[in-house]
Chain A
């Protein structure tokens, strides 16, 4: 048994979990075309959830801040992007791929800029006064989430908003008898690019080194001569911008959004961060992919269990690994 576990660790360890889940699902589903469709949907969903959750994981790991208001950035990102896409509906419907890309780029850019600004404001006004006090953090950030939801209601109204997709991302690509939705491939690829950029930043740059060190031991980073409080603000803004980008992509994926989006996503985002292990980008990606795949497979195989699948997955993983799949070293 020990030799088997050592071999598993050597060839990838917990990173192989999504593959194992996909393999089991393949035999349970039995229809290859359905399995491919569900797997692509799960990967795309996982990547979008990764974007929403990665910032929260870093913020918790580095700053020890429990930010239940994090999903407000997801909501705002979705609504800001939806508005921009609405204004640029002409570009979205155009035959020109360049105009299509320009529209979606501007929508995502607007969401990111909004996320950065809102993150800066949120950290300065709401988070800073409650550093080192988890109970007050929970109370004030849950309050902030409610306020954010009401602000969205006031600005965008309570009616669900349609989010148009650009022409080049509508429809599906047919591979044999497998239909793969273009937007899902786009979401997966964009998520992958962001993950690789984050991974590069964290592992190859000095600022990334500081963030990783700060997640482990903030005090020692300061004793080496770095003002970690300034790094906190930058990481908080980055996390908020990623959440807003995730929200913007989610809006295009769902094509219909409501002000309750943030509250709905909050639970999923927290589950992903807990499953993955706090403060770890790799863990967050792994957790998000697991949640995406399991939600899609279970939704197909046992629809009545779909809502509970995330909770069951979290319980199973925490019983096995109480600190999550790939926690940052503390």
Chain B
């Protein structure tokens, strides 16, 4: 059984239909990458899964539980974390407070904290600093750290490399590789090299519909498909 199933999902934002018919099965384990051009509906897909925009008609289910119509907070409590495109950092809170909020009972598990500090050493260095004072890369680290401070089954990550320096992107890739050993990642990404290096399974969304789905290895080998779906040079 798939971990996450989107079935004929349609989402409207105001009077505009953004997702027309998104049907997708995300298997458990590894990194599933959702690719697509700007405005294709990648972010809307993640936000619809999270309940931030309500899909109708169509359905979303997670381990067989229907998420359609559920409150975002209840969806999160099922073990789904969200790393939004704008990182969603609380700038007025310290790094520590940002992480405390993401814990279930307000206290840290020592092993989880040690793991986060190992993956993202900058967070330990700026532990008591206000999050607004962090660099873009450090904010992204904090956003990801918040998603993994508690055990999750699925993490939705929206364009994590956007605007980051190459060295930070490499560190992020390393972190995602380690996180994906125990947690399924559904990653929306425009940086194809980054996506190819991490992804196991993939799908391409085009004009609010899934245009292709398959293994990342096959897609990476098919230059013509990349050119037609993503306008990447063959």
Chain A positions near chain B (C-beta within 8 angstroms): 206, 209-210, 212-213, 215-217, 219-228, 328-330
Contact = CB atoms under 8 A, between A and B. Distances in A.
Contacts of B3: none
Given A223-B76, A224-B102, A227-B73, A329 B52 contact: no
Contact of A223 (B84, B92, B104, B106): B84
B146 A224 contact: yes
Contact of B101 (A210, A329, A330): A210
A220 B92 contact: no
Most buried by B among A217, A220, A223, A227: A223
Contacts of A212: 90, 92-93
Interface in B123-146: 130, 132, 146
Contacts of B97: 209
Contacts of B121: none
Contacts of A219: 52, 72, 88
B93 A220 contact: no
Contact of A221 (B71, B91, B101, B130): B101
Contacts of B82: 223
A209 B93 contact: yes
Given A223-B82, A329-B132, A216 B92 contact: yes
Nearest to B150: A225
B91 A220 contact: no
B100 interface: yes
B73 to A, nearest CB: 5
A220 B84 contact: yes
Nearest to A280: B92
A226 B73 contact: yes
A223 B72 contact: yes
Contacts of B91: 216, 329-330
Contacts of B90: 212-213, 216-217, 220, 329
Interface string B37-51: 000000000000010
Q: Interface residues of A: mostly helix, strand, loop or mixed?
A: helix
B82 to A, nearest CB: 4
Contact of B73 (A206, A216, A225): A225
Given A212-B92, A213-B90, A329-B92, A222 B101 contact: no
B72 A222 contact: yes
B50 A223 contact: yes
B194 to A, nearest CB: 23
Contacts of A223: 50, 52, 72-73, 76, 81-82, 84, 88
Interface in B109-166: 130, 132, 146
A209 B71 contact: no
17 contacts: A206-B100, A206-B106, A212-B92, A213-B93, A215-B92, A216-B90, A217-B90, A219-B52, A219-B88, A220-B84, A222-B71, A222-B73, A223-B73, A223-B76, A227-B73, A228-B73, A329-B90
Given A212-B93, A213-B101, 11 more contacts: A206-B100, A206-B106, A209-B93, A210-B101, A217-B90, A219-B52, A219-B88, A222-B76, A224-B73, A224-B101, A224-B146
Nearest to A215: B92
A308 to B, nearest CB: 34
Nearest to B106: A206
B145 to A, nearest CB: 13
A328 B90 CA distance: 10
Nearest to B97: A209
A135 to B, nearest CB: 17
B100 A209 contact: yes
Q: Which of B50, B76, B132 has the most CB of A within 10 A?
A: B76
A227 B70 CA distance: 12
A328 B130 CA distance: 12
A213 B52 CA distance: 17
Contacts of A227: 71, 73
A209 B107 CA distance: 13
A128 to B, nearest CB: 16
Contacts of B77: 225
A60 to B, nearest CB: 16
Contacts of B100: 206, 209
Contacts of A215: 92
Nearest to A328: B92
Interface string B9-40: 00000000000000000000000000000000
B173 to A, nearest CB: 24
B139 to A, nearest CB: 12
Contacts of B102: 224
A145 to B, nearest CB: 31
A226 B103 CA distance: 11
B155 to A, nearest CB: 11
Contacts of A224: 73, 76, 101-102, 146
A220 B88 contact: yes
Most chain A CB within a 10 A radius of its CB, from B71, B82, B90, B100: B90
A209 B98 CA distance: 9
B101 A217 contact: no
B51 to A, nearest CB: 8
Contacts of B72: 219, 222-223
